[in-house]
């Protein structure tokens, strides 16, 4: 089996948690590191959640020391959205491992060099770690094969009319990544919505018994209950999970190459991903923007994940 070296950058976070579970059920992924970043909740929680989740699942990887706040923007989190501790109140067992001695950005360049140009990165939170790495180590622009991000939107935001949360937290980091010249796949709010799940799909898949039933059942129930009862939404788009599925199997995704830039200065629309869907800017596309993913194949990947955890 040809293994794909990958680093997961994340801010767990209820949906990050499900995405990491999905990744770990794919042995073709050689998860070199999980790098936490401040985002959904403060760094103390996202980092502990990342460490404990890697331990609980049994992922043999490094857990780096990530950025505790954005590059320039003030530190803002979304505790109300992700519940107490960032996992909807779920308490992961203490980890039996410690954080890596190195920072996330140093791990990125070490693993990129080791993978000799084959390293892929998937970012599920604010892109602060990636931006620091690209700034400190410009060689990474030639060493990272592809970056897949849960970020932005070609339509409206979720934090305000303009901005999706991950980009809103650190718009400067997003712009550094998008202008890096590295192949980027952007799974934004609108594209991910093609895989929104109803109650029957959520319960039918995530409530099945398996080794990780407790945490998967808890966080998926928390997400759907918040979406349907608190926000009165008809279904749940689990954004990091859809992004991870598109990363694992790009054939389920339909992308449109576009020129995308990130607004960093406006006091009104900072954090907006400005997607040139109709190519009116005349600028060369720098990002593959997710337009939709195949929902049936997405759901099948989730069923296979639950099967995996009944046997591993
Ligand atoms: O806007 C959704 C994104 O923000 C997801 O990655 C979620 O985990 C939060 O980080
Ligand atoms: Ca996230």
Q: Is the CB of 170 under 6 A from ligand 1?
A: no
CA 15 to chain centre: 8
DSSP 180: S
Cα–Cα distance for residue pair 177/186, rounded to 1 Å? 11
19 in helix, strand or coil? helix
Asked if residue 124 lies in contact with residue 19, where contact means CB atoms within 8 angstroms, the answer is yes
Q: What is the pLDDT of residue 19?
A: 99
- Terminal Cα distance for the chain, rounded: 18
Kindly state if the Cβ of 150 falls inside 6 Å of ligand 1: yes
For ligand 1, what atom is nearest to the CA of residue 126?
A: 10
pLDDT in tens, the chain (312 residues): 889 999 999 999 999 999 999 999 999 999 999 999 999 999 999 999 999 999 999 999 999 999 999 999 999 998 888 898 999 999 999 999 999 999 999 999 999 999 999 999 999 999 999 999 999 999 999 999 999 999 999 999 999 999 999 999 999 999 999 999 999 999 999 999 999 999 999 999 999 999 999 999 999 999 999 999 999 999 999 999 999 999 999 999 999 999 999 999 999 999 999 999 999 999 999 999 999 999 999 999 999 999 999 999
Q: What is the pLDDT of residue 1?
A: 87
Domain ranges of the chain: 4-311
CA of 281 to the centre of ligand 2 (A): 30
Q: Evaluate: CB of 240 within 6 angstroms of ligand 1.
A: yes
Q: Give pLDDT, residue 290.
A: 99
- Which residues, chain by chain, have CB under 5 Å from ion ligand 2? 11, 13, 16, 124-125, 240
Beta bridge partners of 292: 254
Catalytic residue among 96, 239, 279, 312: 239
- Strand 253-262 to 287-293 pairing: antiparallel
The pLDDT, as a whole number, for residue 199 is 98
Q: How far is CA 183 from CA 71, 125, 177, in A?
A: 22, 18, 10
Q: What is the largest CA-CA distance in the chain?
A: 53
Pick the CATH number of 4-311 from 3.40.50.300, 3.90.245.10, 3.10.129.10, 3.40.640.10: 3.90.245.10
The pLDDT value recorded for residue 79 is: 83
Can you tell me the distance from the alpha carbon of 121 to that of 130, in angstroms, rounded to the nearest whole number? 9
Name, in order, each residue with C-beta under 8 angstroms of 33's C-beta and a sequence gap of 6 or more.
Answer: 7, 8, 61, 62, 63, 64, 100, 104, 107, 108, 111
By CB atoms closer than 10 A (0-12, 13-18, 19+), residue 266 is exposed
Q: Cα of 38 to ligand 2 centre, how many Å? A: 10
């Amino acid at each position: 089996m040809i293994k794909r070296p990958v680093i997961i950058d994340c801010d767990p976070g209820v949906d990050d948690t499900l995405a990491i579970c999905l990744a770990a059920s794919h042995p073709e992924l050689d998860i070199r590191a999980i790098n936490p970043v401040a985002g959904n909740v403060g760094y103390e929680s996202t980092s502990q959640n990342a460490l404990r989740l890697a331990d609980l699942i049994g992922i043999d990887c490094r857990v780096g020391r990530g950025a505790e706040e954005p590059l320039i923007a003030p530190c803002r989190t979304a505790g109300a959205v992700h519940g107490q501790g960032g996992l909807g109140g779920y308490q992961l067992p203490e980890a039996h491992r410690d954080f890596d001695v190195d920072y996330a950005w140093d791990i990125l360049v070490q693993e990129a060099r080791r993978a000799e140009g084959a390293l892929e990165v998937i970012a599920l939170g604010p892109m602060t770690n990636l931006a620091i790495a690209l700034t400190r180590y410009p060689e990474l622009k030639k060493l990272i094969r592809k970056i897949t991000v849960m970020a932005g939107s070609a339509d409206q935001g979720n934090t305000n009319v303009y901005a999706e949360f991950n980009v809103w937290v650190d718009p400067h980091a997003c712009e550094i990544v998008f202008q890096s010249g590295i192949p980027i796949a952007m799974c934004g709010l609108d594209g991910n919505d093609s895989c929104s799940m109803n109650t029957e799909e959520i319960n039918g898949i995530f409530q099945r018994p398996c080794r990780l039933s407790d945490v998967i059942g808890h966080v998926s129930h928390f997400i759907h209950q918040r979406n349907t009862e608190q926000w009165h939404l008809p279904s749940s788009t689990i954004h990091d999970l859809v992004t991870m599925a598109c990363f694992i199997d790009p054939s389920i995704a339909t992308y449109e190459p576009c020129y995308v830039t990130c607004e960093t200065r406006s006091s009104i629309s900072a954090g907006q991903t400005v997607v040139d869907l109709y190519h009116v800017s005349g600028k060369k596309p720098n990002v593959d923007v997710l337009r939709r993913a195949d929902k049936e194949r997405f759901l099948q990947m989730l069923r296979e994940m639950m099967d995996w955890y009944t046997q591993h």
